[in-house]
């Protein structure tokens, strides 16, 4: 079966005063229909820029897709005019997106209902009354009590968790085939986080929707994703399944992320990854993780290719090169 989203060798660059920032380099992955893909990594690793590239929401004049394909339902989104009708139909229509802090996406001077109605009418021919009926239904579906009354309220009257639910309702208003959720639970507490993740998982199953879930937290991915990619300094370090990542992480960076994760019942002490993520203009030559890697070798001064480890797992690490393994 053809994937819903297929990204091939995507590179996105930012042209800044300080110089060229290679925010995303040679990234490839796929998302099948009805699948949840987790995109994991520390901040500044290129997760959100990848999402913004797919949505063609890069800052004008600064951000540019330098290379690669973004095939969505067979259409190369990377070649579309970001402001053209085809892209507008995809953005917020066939692909919905929710962000880390809903308050930055919600307009404080319009009611929640009016904002959802606008989103619905941008992508359909429904009348205002019909759209409001749908908005109330969506608010009800995402777990907002007294949805009719709530639809008449402004964002400031909503709690952080309710705002995120309202954002999800808005993202679902056009029945998207793909939902991109960028750190959707960062601004809420742990209890609300669990509820939001459950809601996303329920909606995905109910609608046979695909989800791209961006997070810095491997535990979040373990709960809801089918497969995941781990990114570091704009590159994909590992592609694997959520089932495997905890028992058999392949890449030293993924292992480091796991060891630095607080887990219930963990006996061993937390071991943070040594050093810190280099600044955007301090990218090391060769393997980007080399300065922080305990296993670094001379060959790591050269960028490793991606090695296939088994049917589900691949890693960009010289440890999986046959010759390196043989010599070692
Ligand atoms: Fe470590 Fe080398 Fe693998 Fe990079 S390529 S993760 S430096 S062993």
Domain coordinates in residue numbering, the chain: 5-94+174-264+271-327
- Cα separation, 313 vs 230, in Å, equals 11
For 62, the 3-state DSSP assignment is coil
Please tell me the distance from the alpha carbon of residue 253 to that of residue 315, in angstroms, as a whole number: 10
pLDDT for the residue numbered 99: 84
Atom of ligand 1 nearest to the CA of 297: 2
3-state secondary structure 99-164: CCCHHHCCCCCCCHHHHHHHHHHHCCCCCHHHHHHHHHHHHHHCCCCCHHHHHCCCHHHCCHHHHH
Q: How far is the CA of 240 from the centre of ligand 1 (A)?
A: 17
**Mean pLDDT within 161-165:** 92
What is the spatial distance between Cα 161 and Cα 194, in angstroms, rounded to a whole number?
Answer: 11
User: In whole angstroms, what separates CA 180 from the centre of its chain?
Assistant: 6
**pLDDT tens digits, 130-159:** 999 999 999 999 999 999 999 999 999 999
Share of the chain above pLDDT 90, in %: 78
Distance 258 CA to ligand 1 centre (A): 16
User: Does 239 have pLDDT greater than 90?
Assistant: yes
Mean pLDDT value across residues 299-308: 96
Our mutation pick for probing the ligand 1 site, out of 249, 318, 325, 328, counting the most ligand atoms within 8 A of Cβ, is: 318
How is residue 259 written in tokens? Answer: 């060891």
Cβ atoms of 77 and 162 within 8 Å: the answer is no
User: Ligand 1 centre and the CA of 297: distance in Å?
Assistant: 7
Task: Check if the beta carbon of residue 11 is closer than 8 Å to that of residue 25.
Answer: yes
Indicate whether 223 pLDDT > 60.
Answer: yes
Reply yes or no on whether the pLDDT at 6 is more than 90.
yes
Between CA 151 and CA 129 the distance in angstroms is 13
CA of 319 to the centre of ligand 1 (A): 7
Q: Among 104-113, 270-279, 319-328, name the most confident range.
A: 104-113
Other CB atoms closer than 10 Å to residue 102's CB: what's the count?
23
**Residue 296 near ligand 1, beta carbon < 6 Å:** yes
Pocket test for ligand 1, best of 319, 321, 323, 327 (most atoms within 8 A of CB): 319
Q: Is the CB of 295 under 6 A from ligand 1?
A: yes
What was the pLDDT predicted at 117? 97
237 lines ligand 1 (CB under 6 A): no
Ranges of H-type helices in the chain:
47-55, 85-90, 112-122, 128-141, 147-151, 160-172, 190-207, 218-224, 242-245, 252-259, 322-327
**CA nearest neighbour of 162 among 235, 81, 208, 106:** 106
pLDDT digits (tens, 9 = 90+) for 66-112: 999 999 999 999 999 999 999 999 999 999 999 887 777 899 999 99
Residue 268 confidence (pLDDT): 60
Measured between alpha carbons, how far apart are the two ends of the chain, in Å?
40
**Ligand 1 lined by 252 (C-beta under 6 Å):** yes
In this prediction, residue 267 carries a pLDDT of 56
Distance CA 169, CA 305 (A): 41
Check: CB of residue 235 under 8 Å from CB of residue 26.
yes
Ranking 68-72, 189-193, 311-315 by mean pLDDT, the lowest is 189-193
Mean pLDDT calculated for residue range 287-304: 96
The per-residue pLDDT for 102 is 74
Contact 171, 165 (CB under 8 A): no
Out of 249, 300, 324, give the residue to mutate to test ligand 1, the one with the largest number of ligand atoms within 8 Å of its CB: 300
Reported confidence tier of residue 174, pLDDT bands at 50, 70, 90? very high
Whole-number Å distance between alpha carbons of 180 and 134: 21
Q: Measured in angstroms, how far is the CA atom of residue 290 from the centroid of ligand 1?
A: 5
CA of 293, closest atom in ligand 1: 1
Choose which residue among 238, 317, 325, 327 to substitute to test ligand 1 binding: the one with the highest number of ligand atoms within 8 A of its C-beta.
317
Q: Give the bridge partners for 273, in sequence order.
A: none
- pTM (two decimals): 0.94
* Res. 270: pLDDT tops 80: no
pLDDT value of residue 269: 66
Q: Which CATH superfamily includes the segment(s) 5-94+174-264+271-327?
A: P-loop containing nucleotide triphosphate hydrolases (3.40.50.300)
Find out whether the beta carbon of 289 lies less than 6 Å from any atom of ligand 1.
Answer: yes
d(CA 79, CA 87): 10
Neighbours of 281 (CB within 10 A): 11
Atom of ligand 1 nearest to the CA of 289: 4
* Cβ of residue 304 lying under 6 Å from some atom of ligand 1: yes
Q: What pLDDT, on the 0 to 100 scale, is given for residue 266? A: 53
Task: State whether the beta carbon of 300 lies less than 6 angstroms from ligand 1.
Answer: yes
């Amino acid at each position: 079966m053809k994937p819903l989203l297929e990204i091939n060798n995507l590179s996105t660059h930012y042209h800044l005063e300080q110089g060229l920032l290679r925010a995303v380099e040679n990234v490839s992955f796929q998302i099948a229909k009805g699948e949840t893909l987790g995109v994991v990594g520390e901040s500044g690793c290129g997760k959100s820029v990848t999402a913004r590239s797919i949505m063609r929401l890069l800052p004008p004049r600064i951000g540019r897709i330098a290379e690669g394909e973004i095939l969505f339902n067979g259409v190369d989104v990377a070649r579309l005019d970001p402001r053209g009708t085809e892209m507008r139909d995809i953005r917020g229509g066939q692909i919905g997106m929710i962000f880390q802090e809903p308050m930055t996406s919600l307009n404080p001077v319009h009611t929640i209902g009016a904002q959802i109605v606008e989103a619905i009418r941008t992508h359909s021919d429904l009348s205002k009354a019909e759209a409001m009926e749908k908005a109330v239904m969506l608010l009800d579906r995402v777990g907002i009590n007294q949805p009719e009354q709530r639809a008449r309220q402004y964002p400031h009257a909503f709690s952080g968790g309710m705002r995120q639910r309202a954002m999800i309702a808005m993202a679902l208003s056009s029945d998207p085939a793909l939902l991109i959720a960028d750190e959707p639970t960062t601004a809420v507490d742990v209890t609300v986080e669990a509820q939001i993740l459950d809601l996303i998982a329920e909606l995905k199953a109910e609608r046979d929707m695909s989800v791209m879930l961006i997070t810095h937290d491997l535990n979040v991915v373990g709960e809801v994703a089918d497969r995941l990619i781990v990114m570091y300094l704009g590159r994909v370090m590992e592609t694997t399944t959520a089932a495997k990542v905890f028992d058999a992480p392949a890449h030293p960076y993924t292992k480091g992320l796991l060891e630095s994760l607080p887990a219930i019942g963990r006996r061993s002490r937390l071991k943070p990854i040594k050093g810190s993520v280099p600044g955007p203009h301090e990218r090391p030559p060769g393997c980007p993780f080399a300065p922080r890697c305990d296993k670094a070798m001379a060959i790591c001064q050269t960028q490793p290719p991606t090695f296939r480890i088994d049917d589900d797992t691949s890693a960009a690490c010289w440890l999986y090169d046959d010759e390196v393994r043989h010599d070692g």
